[in-house]
């Protein structure tokens, strides 16, 4: 994401101002060993049973993710609209990929009730242009909190997503 932003001059999501960019970079580095654990601890064990992720690994990942949410709640999102400030950035996109997939309406595998700032941010992210089109696969998979999706459901969700993305790309051409 950083490379593409640099190459194409997308300073609306990756600020040219070095101080603002440093905040985005700070979050992105934090993200990799904290927020990313949402997938390994909450989603992958249900969708990719073949990975046989050990329960201890899942527990550790869930704990790391919950600690990361506390950091977002009381730090990054406590006094700003988006992760690194008043503007939507790559930090928000990276965070939403992991956090957003867990909410009701998608996989529904995490209770965000104790995190009002995170919930507010999740609601704002749903308003970003193109949100629904790029999250078709998650909407199609639906709630996996009780029962994992079948391979057929996963396959069909991916096919539908591909159709929607091709349609959106066609509109841009």
Query: For the segment 48-93, what is each residue's pLDDT rounded down to a tens digit?
Result: 989 999 999 999 999 999 999 999 999 999 999 999 999 999 999 9
- What pLDDT is attached to residue 169? 83
- What pLDDT is attached to residue 171? 85
Asked whether residue 165 carries a pLDDT value surpassing 90, the answer given is: no
Q: What is the pTM of this model?
A: 0.91
Rounded-to-integer distance, Cα 71 and Cα 63, Å: 12
Asked whether residue 172 carries a pLDDT value surpassing 90, the answer given is: no
Architecture of domain 2-130: Up-down Bundle (1.20)
Q: What is the pLDDT of residues 142-159, one digit of tens each?
A: 999 999 999 999 999 999
* DSSP string covering the chain: -HHHHHHHT-TTTS-SSHHHHHHHHHHHHHHHTTTTHHIIIIIHHHH-GGG---HHHHHHHHHHHHHHHHHIIIIITTS-SBTTBSS--HHHHHHHHHHHTTSTTTT--S--TT-HHHHHHHHHHTTSTTHHHHTHHHHHH---SSSPPPHHHHHHHHHHHHHHHHHHHHHH-
Closest by alpha carbon to 137, among 167, 115, 168, 105?
Answer: 105
Mean pLDDT of the 15-44 span = 94
Closest by alpha carbon to 134, among 93, 89, 103?
Answer: 93
Asked whether residue 173 carries a pLDDT value surpassing 90, the answer given is: no
Q: Where are the domains of the chain?
A: 2-130
């Amino acid at each position: 994401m950083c490379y593409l932003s640099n190459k194409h001059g997308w300073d609306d999501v990756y600020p040219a101002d070095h101080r603002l960019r440093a905040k985005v970079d700070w979050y992105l580095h934090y993200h990799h060993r904290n927020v990313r654990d949402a997938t390994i601890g909450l989603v992958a064990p249900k969708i990719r049973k073949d990975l046989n992720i050990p329960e201890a690994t899942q527990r550790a990942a869930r704990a790391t993710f919950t600690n990361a949410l506390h950091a977002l709640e009381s730090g990054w999102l406590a006094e700003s609209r988006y992760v690194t400030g008043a503007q939507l950035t790559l930090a928000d996109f990276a965070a939403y990929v992991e956090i957003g997939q867990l909410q009701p309406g998608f996989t529904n595998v995490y209770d965000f009730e104790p995190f009002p700032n995170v919930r507010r941010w999740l609601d704002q992210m749903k308003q970003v242009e193109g949100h629904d089109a790029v999250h078709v696969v998650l909407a199609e998979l639906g709630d996996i909190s009780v029962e994992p999706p079948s391979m057929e459901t996963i396959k069909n969700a991916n096919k539908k997503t591909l159709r929607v993305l091709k349609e959106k790309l066609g509109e841009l051409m």
